[in-house]
Amino acid sequence: MLDLSFQYPAWFLIFCALLGLGYALLLYYRDSTFRERAPRLNVLLGVLRWLSVTIIAALLLAPLLKSLLVETKKPVVVLAQDQSESTGLELQGQALETYRANWQGLRDQLAEQYEVHEVAFGDEVREGVNFQFTDKVTNLSQLVRSVYDLYSGQNLGAVVLASDGIYNEGSNPAYTDVKLNAPVYSIAIGDTTPKKDLVLKRVFHNKIVYLGDQFTLQVDVAANNAAGAQTALSVIKIEGDQRQTIQNIPLSITGNDFFITKEITLEATKPGVAQYAVRLVGINGEASESNNSREIFIDVLDARQKILLLANSPHPDLSAIKQSLEGNKNYAVSIAYAGDPGLDVSRFDFVVLHSLPSRTNNIEGILNTLNSKQIPRLFVAGLQTHFQALNRAQNLVTMQGEGVQTDDVQGIVSSKFASFSLSPRLTEELPKFNPVVCAFGNSSALPSAQVVLYKRIGRINTEAPLLAVGEQNGIKTGVFMAEGLWKWRLFDFLQHQNHEIFDEFLGKSVQYLALKEDKRKFRINLDKNIYNENEPVVFGAELYNDNYELTNEPDVALSVRNAEGKEYTYTFNKIGKGYTLNAGILPTGSYTYKGNVNFNGQNLTAEGRFSVRAIQLELFETTANHAVLRQLSKQYGGETVSVAYMGSIAEKIKNNAVVKPVIYQTTQTNPLINLKWIFALLAVLLGLEWFLRRYYGAY
């Protein structure tokens, strides 16, 4: 629908017409040039000139053309297919071909009236369905959340969910923190009748243990419809192609709904990644033996780092620091005070000095021991700190003041600091944390310091250091110029219901300071030693010149071998001044790697090992859980149907009054002068007038 309006009163068009008429009369009324050859030509030329001038004058009134656009948006129907391994067990051979045909038919029926989107889910939610059923986990709640994120802003009409209802990651989809504004129709796949089956349900174990320690495996065994059967639980240690049974426990199945928990104690005898297989002996008539075994990987570490929190007096900071550091299994944390008898700091690998040195404890002897043993340390300069003694004890920060007055300060991450990385989330959130308390005075960083945090006082960012790190005579040292770290830890939990930001800040700071210096010029590192089979293995590499400056001029080659000797070869990518390599997803098993580079005539190598473990979650639940699907459909006003009746869903959606198109109306306003046909009309009128005048002999 079109509507014409003017920015000036519409009756001004009368003046436009009169202007055009006056112009035409003035030009042709008394002109006798054409009367002899064409008596009526003056009238035609006058009309042409009148129309041209009238239109041009009317355009000066800035007329606007309003148009009303009406768009009908079809409802969106999302077809979501569970592509996990457990669903694939039910759809094989001819059953799968029939199912694919029915799925295609349902999609085609819905596409006649709706905008159809197909998504697959399992490990992740992704577009398109290929019916491969290779996903290792099922996360139904993630599907609901993804559909909400992607389609809640559109006209979401319905969701069709095809699954066996088994989920082994995330929560029950009916209780997610988002709510769909559309009915959910479920296609129930699989059989809910329990089969005769032994299941090794779970194996609980520590991910990290320490060399020489004993650790416990807690094994949950279940059995369905197998009363009276005999089996055995075995624990097998795997080293390459060597398999050694270290424990064998007989089990008697005493009922059709059987469950038992066994605890098995093992000993960590060798550092590195220890691989074990926990296995149940199969029974006659068992539905599947694929869920009778599990492989586990345990990282055996050589030793923990011993950390001492040495304080002038009791302070809540000590508890906050201790709780944060103890989250890292590599640390054993102790608290002591400067006046404790028999204190021996030489037994520790790293020392945090809280409010030390102070006026009552100058700790000169302790500092001498730390220096002689090359033990790294972190000074936390509280209000009891003797700052003149602190200035003498380190070469990173100098402080002019005695701590009589105080300032409340926050921390701003330095943009120039690069010795270790802090996440963008920490950089953004830390300045919002509650202020910590520092002594009033002029503080500045010395040339040997690398500033991690600067002080922020109120809304003013200063150049005064809050946290600085560096080296003093080859010993890594840090100085935190305030007390009140406990406030940061509490504030982090108040805002985020966890301590992740505080733990990252403190953990990375201590890790950098406590890490023993690595003088190797070529290094290869992994984020972890144990990967899941659906995770890509990502390597990083660093190469240093004679001045220990990062460089990545030469190419770096990497060779990865599995336990059978199969070799995978790669070349690192160069990024910044370092190297990175995504080796992709590797088959399960144990691997060794060796990297080499030729630099300045030297052939440098770095090597290590890692393991890829199987994710077997989908194999340990063989009975479909249609109750979850019915609960979800009922909650959102849909229905649950079996695979045989999946074609009826199209008709159910069409009969649902909630699923309907949405009509959008938009108004567009454009100046009439923008219409090209207006200029074409003027060109025709003026061109025709000019032609007739030339043709009949006038100029």
Domains of the chain: 2-69+669-695 (no CATH), 75-193+623-660 (3.40.50.410), 197-301 (2.60.40.10), 305-514 (3.40.50.880), 522-613 (2.60.40.1930)
Round to whole Å and give the CA distance between 656 and 183.
9
Q: What is the pLDDT of residue 82?
A: 92
pLDDT value of residue 331: 85
Confidence of residue 467 (pLDDT cuts 50, 70, 90): very high
DSSP 74: P
The span from the CA of 657 to the CA of 613, in Å, is 49
For residue range 209-257, list pLDDT tens digits in order: 877 778 899 999 988 888 888 999 999 998 877 889 999 999 999 988 8
Q: How far apart are CA 27 and CA 364, in angstroms?
A: 111
pLDDT band at 12 (very low <50, low <70, confident <90, very high): confident
Q: Which of 132-141, 142-151, 208-217, 548-557 has the lowest mean pLDDT?
A: 208-217
pLDDT of residue 167: 86
Sheet holding 156-163, edge to edge: 126-127, 115-121, 76-82, 156-163, 184-188, 640-642
Residue 323 clears pLDDT 80, i.e. is over it = yes
Mean pLDDT in the chain?
87
pLDDT of residue 352: 95
Pair 276, 300: CB distance under 8 Å: no
pLDDT at 699 over 60: no
Task: Say whether pLDDT at 310 is over 80.
Answer: yes
Per-residue confidence (pLDDT) for residue 682, from 0 to 100: 85
Q: Which residues of 76-106 are buried (b: 16+ CB within 10 A; e: fewer)?
A: bbbbbbbbbbbbbbbbeeeeeeebeebbeeb
Instruction: Of 134, 253, 139, 258, give the one whose Cα is nearest residue 194.
Output: 258
At residue 620, the pLDDT reads: 66
Classify 381 as helix, strand or coil: coil
Band of pLDDT at residue 354, cut at 50, 70 and 90: very high
Given a cut of 80, whether residue 91 has pLDDT beyond it is: yes
Which of the four pLDDT bands, split at 50, 70 and 90, describes residue 72? confident
Beta strand segments in 76-206, E: 76-82, 115-121, 126-127, 156-163, 184-188, 197-204
- pLDDT confidence band for 633 (50 / 70 / 90): very high
Question: Has residue 32 got a pLDDT over 80?
Answer: no
DSSP 240: T
What is the SS3 assignment for 676-699?
Answer: HHHHHHHHHHHHHHHHHHHHCCCC
pLDDT in tens, 404-421: 788 899 999 988 887 888
Question: pLDDT for 574-587, tens place per residue?
Answer: 988 899 999 998 98
φ/ψ of 45, rounded to 5, equals -65, -35
